[in-house]
């Protein structure tokens, strides 16, 4: 009987000891798990995902241009005219910015490679450039953006986050398809660390087929001190833009302007939104 009590006691002790050990072990595992999946980190990450864009914006020191600087920007390319534009830029040792579109990239993949290889900025305009589609919903806009972004990356290896919205952020077309969409898109772009650029000098080459002289006069008469973000087009029909370009560059150089390409540290030029 006494022996039975001793055996029972020993077994009980072993069971109790095992329970304590198991508990202790589990507790350790739990700590490791907490270490591996730190809740604090997740909380912080969640918080960061909300605040990061603003934080990041603060960190990036935007290069404020004190001199008179010109950013030549070409929308809607590449095209059959791009090579000639690139030849002019090469001759003048100027870097510019190209806001490219999907169909043009598909057709001129060699040209877009050249744009990149010669040190210009490849920026994103739109894959479809179809206002009705992209401005019908936020989803459509961002799907279209993702497609052009992927195409550019696949051909050039450039992961561009520099954007120009078709029609500019001030266009009054988007609201016809979805009221308020431009405010939402531009906010989301900024929150997601994209940099969008409108313009403050319009060469006027979007409207019809202007003479080279008119494009030249439009442009030089609108130059001013500080940043000059010039809107031009690189499209099949825009031959007079190509023609006007060397004269615009000559005028600018003779009048003390310098040239730069857009980077993510370039101070963004934004229009007022009309939606
Ligand atoms: Zn365009």
Segment 84-111, tens digit of pLDDT: 999 999 999 999 999 999 999 989 999 9
pLDDT at 138: 98
Residue 156, SS3? Answer: helix
pLDDT at 67: 82
CATH of domain 69-259: 3.20.20.370
| Alpha carbon of 140 to ligand 1 centroid (Å) | 17
φ/ψ (deg, to 5) at 79: -150, -175
Instruction: Please identify which of the residues 75, 127, 198, 205 carries the catalytic annotation.
Output: 75
| Alpha carbon of 196 to ligand 1 centroid (Å) | 14
Q: Is 270 a catalytic residue?
A: no
Residues in the chain predicted with pLDDT less than 50, given as ranges, are 17-58
CA 63 from centroid of its chain's CA atoms: 17
Instruction: Please identify which of the residues 120, 125, 129, 233 carries the catalytic annotation.
Output: 233
Instruction: Specify whether the CB–CB gap between 264 and 73 falls below 8 A.
Output: no
Residues with CB in 5 Å of ion ligand 1: 75-76, 166
DSSP assignment of 73-86: EEEEE--TTHHHHH
| Alpha carbon of 223 to ligand 1 centroid (Å) | 22
| Alpha carbon of 215 to ligand 1 centroid (Å) | 17
pLDDT at 208: 86
Dihedral sign, CA of 188, 192, 198, 200? positive
Q: Is 233 a catalytic residue?
A: yes
Tell me how far apart the alpha carbons of residues 49 and 183 are, in angstroms, rounded to a whole number: 20
| Alpha carbon of 164 to ligand 1 centroid (Å) | 8
Tell me how far apart the alpha carbons of residues 126 and 230 are, in angstroms, rounded to a whole number: 19
Cα→Cα distances 135→103, 139, 198, 257, Å: 18, 9, 17, 36
- Partner residues linked to 123 by β-bridges: 99
Segment 153-176, tens digit of pLDDT: 999 999 999 999 999 999 999 999
Residue 263 corresponds to which tokens in the numbers above? Answer: 């980077």
Instruction: Specify whether the CB–CB gap between 202 and 218 falls below 8 A.
Output: yes
First-to-last alpha carbon distance for the chain, in angstroms, is 93
Which pTM does this prediction carry? 0.78
């Amino acid at each position: 009987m006494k022996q039975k009590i001793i055996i029972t006691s020993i077994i009980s002790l072993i069971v109790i000891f095992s329970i304590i050990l198991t508990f202790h072990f589990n507790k350790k595992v739990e700590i490791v798990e907490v270490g591996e999946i730190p809740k604090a980190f997740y909380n912080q990450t969640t918080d960061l995902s909300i605040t990061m864009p603003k934080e990041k914006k603060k960190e990036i020191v935007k290069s404020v241009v004190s001199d008179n600087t010109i950013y030549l920007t070409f929308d809607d390319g590449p095209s059959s005219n791009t090579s000639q534009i690139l030849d002019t830029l090469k001759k003048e040792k100027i870097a510019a910015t190209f806001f490219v579109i999907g169909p043009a990239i598909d057709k001129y993949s060699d040209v877009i490679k050249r744009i990149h290889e010669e040190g210009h900025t490849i920026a994103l305009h739109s894959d479809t450039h179809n206002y009705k589609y992209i401005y019908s919903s936020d989803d459509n806009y961002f799907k279209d953006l993702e497609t052009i972004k992927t195409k550019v990356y696949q051909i050039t290896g450039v992961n561009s986050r520099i954007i120009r919205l078709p029609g500019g952020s001030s266009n009054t077309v988007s609201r016809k398809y979805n009221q308020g969409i431009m405010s939402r898109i531009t906010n989301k772009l900024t929150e997601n660390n994209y940099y969008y650029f409108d313009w403050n000098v319009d060469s006027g080459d979007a409207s019809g087929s202007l003479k080279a002289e008119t494009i030249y006069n439009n442009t030089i008469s609108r130059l001013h001190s500080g940043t000059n973000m010039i809107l031009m087009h690189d499209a099949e029909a825009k031959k007079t833009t190509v023609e006007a370009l060397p004269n615009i560059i000559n005028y600018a150089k003779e009048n003390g302007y310098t040239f730069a390409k857009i980077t993510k540290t370039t101070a963004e030029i934004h229009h007022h939104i009309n939606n």
